[in-house]
Each structure stands twice: as C-alpha cells, then as structure tokens.
Structure 1
C-alpha cells in the first residue's frame, strides 16, 4: 500500500508532462539583418534580437505542444515586421527612438515551415506570409499588450497555426 502512495504522484506527473504528449518546434532565423523591422527602440541591437528570437522560438514551441507526440514543426523565418514603427524622440541630451503602435503599423511575418513525423517523413510543408491588419481592433487586448512581449505577433501566429493545422489538431 505504501508503494502505491509513492508511485501515484510520479505516475500522474508523467501522464501530465507536456513533453510526453506534445510535438516540438525547431526555429531558425535567416538573414536577420535584412528583416523589415527587427530593431530595438533603444538598447543594443544584438541583445534585442537575441531576446526576440528566444520569444518567437518559445511561441512556436508552445504552439507545437498541441501537435501529436513525435511530430516536429520546423520553421525558417525569412522576414519580420514587428507591430508599430520606430520614431525619433528628442530628449535633453540625446536623440532616441520609441516604438509607436498605430493601426497602419500592423505585424507581418514571412517563413517556410515543414511538419514531420517521428520517422522524419514530411506530413505538410509550405511558405507563409502572414499579417494581422486588424491587430488593434480588440479593446480587451490593450491590457494584455502592456504585460506581454510580442502579444500581437503571438496572436497572429496562433491564428495561422490553428488554420494551417486545424485537421491535425482535431485528430489529436
């Protein structure tokens, strides 16, 4: 009986583990220096880009958790245009930039993708050019935007993922 109590939490943790139940993502970024808008308003560009690359990779990893076990989503990002636009601001001592978000500065992305099974067989592949021209119409989003990096871009990618893989997600 004592062994049963010791094994129960481990069994439950294993059953609920996302690694056991989910696919995975592999994300690469191609020619970042040519991206339309992938620059910081202020700060060191390399650090900004590394941080954004990590955030985009995390978004794709979270989306891939919905895929069946063993499936891998490989994404090669070719262009990113973040929501908003960098505009100069003039302080007392130096000029700087601020990212100003208006409805005409919607997020866009271009990437190639391939979904493979555990044997490496390609299940689905293609190129995507996505944009969200209505990214700022939902007033409820404004509160979340302040707390979450890449909020508009993440919503755009979720929409693409759900539309592209809806049949596979329904089967899962």
Structure 2
C-alpha cells in the first residue's frame, strides 16, 4: 500500500513538473494545487468559450480559473480526511455569449474583445464543461475516477440573484449538482449512480 502512495506522489510530481514546463514554454496548461484539489486546466486557449467581455483574454482566464478553483476546493471539503480530488479540465463553455457592443453573437466572434463587448445570457448559450477526475484516498489509492461532460440546459429556470451569488453562478451551480450526484454519494453511503 505504501508503494502505491509513493508511485502516486512520484507520478503527480512528474505530471506537475511537465505541466509547469509546458506552461512556461507555451502557456497551454495551467496547474492549480489548492491542497485537497489538484487541477490541470489543459490547453485553455482551445476552450469553447472563456472569452472576456472587456478585458484581456489571459487575465479573464486566470479570473475564471481562480473562481472555479475556489469552488472545487469548497466542494471537496466533504471528502474524507486525507483524500484528494484531481481534475483535468479539457473544455469550458461559459453561460451566455460575448457580443460586440450588444450586437448578435456572430459579430462578437469576429471582432474579439473590445470595451463595448458584453456577455449576453440567453437559454441557447448553456454552460458546459468537460473533464476527467480521480479521487485518491490518504494512501494514494485511486478510489473513484471518470470522464465527465456536464451541462445545464435549464440554467435560466431557477431564481438566482446574480449580484448576490457572485460571478459564474450558473457554472458553479452546475458543478455543485455534478459533485452532489457523482462524488458525494460515494462517501456518504448513498451511491445512486444512474
């Protein structure tokens, strides 16, 4: 059992080193390690929609990743002591679409981000994410793993107070639902996998 934990730590260290080198050379991967949660944001420039409405793309991505890092860390607090959640995020599509000065979304895609751009929230622009995850116990043994493609087609159906609930409220609620349905039951004795 100790060998498995050692192998896990060595593999994680190697992966972290590789990803950090890749980030320095090409800015393709972003690594976040918040203690209980280890996240690789794989090739974020290729994500479907992490476009800013009025700031630089790299700063906006950093802002988005920080918000989601905090959300994943908050969700993982219910994992048993010593357990770790590892995520490899491969795609993000934020709710809404960036439009040029409020014009149709097809114009926004052609002109890039300018001061007049806004993110228009409409039901056709649903939030979604693609990622793989693994949960490791305190000894480094994998206890849960899967590839996920999640989306929330009914994201506008609930009553949310955007200002009060903070940024990316639709995406965070989608992550809460996923975590509650896919991770929590495995550690509460209520496995209800469909």
User: Structures share a fold, TM > 0.5?
Assistant: yes
Which of the pair is proportionally richer in strand? 1
- Structure 2 counterpart of 1:44: 56
Instruction: Indicate yes or no: 2:139 matched with 1:127.
Output: no
- Aligned counterpart in structure 2 of residue 163 of structure 1, from 162, 171, 181: 181
Which structure has the greater CA radius of gyration? Answer: 1
Q: How many residue pairs are counted as aligned between the two chains?
A: 144
Poorly superposed stretches of 4+, deviation over 3 Å: none
TM-score normalised by length of structure 2: 0.70
Instruction: Indicate yes or no: 2:127 matched with 1:107.
Output: yes
RMSD: 1.8
TM-score normalised by length of structure 1: 0.79
Instruction: Indicate yes or no: 2:83 matched with 1:83.
Output: no
Gaps (5+ residues) in structure 1?
Answer: 1-22
Residue 169 of structure 1 and its aligned partner are, at CA, apart by 3.8
Alignment of 1:15-94 (within 5 A): 24-89=36-101
SS at the partner of 1:134?
Answer: coil
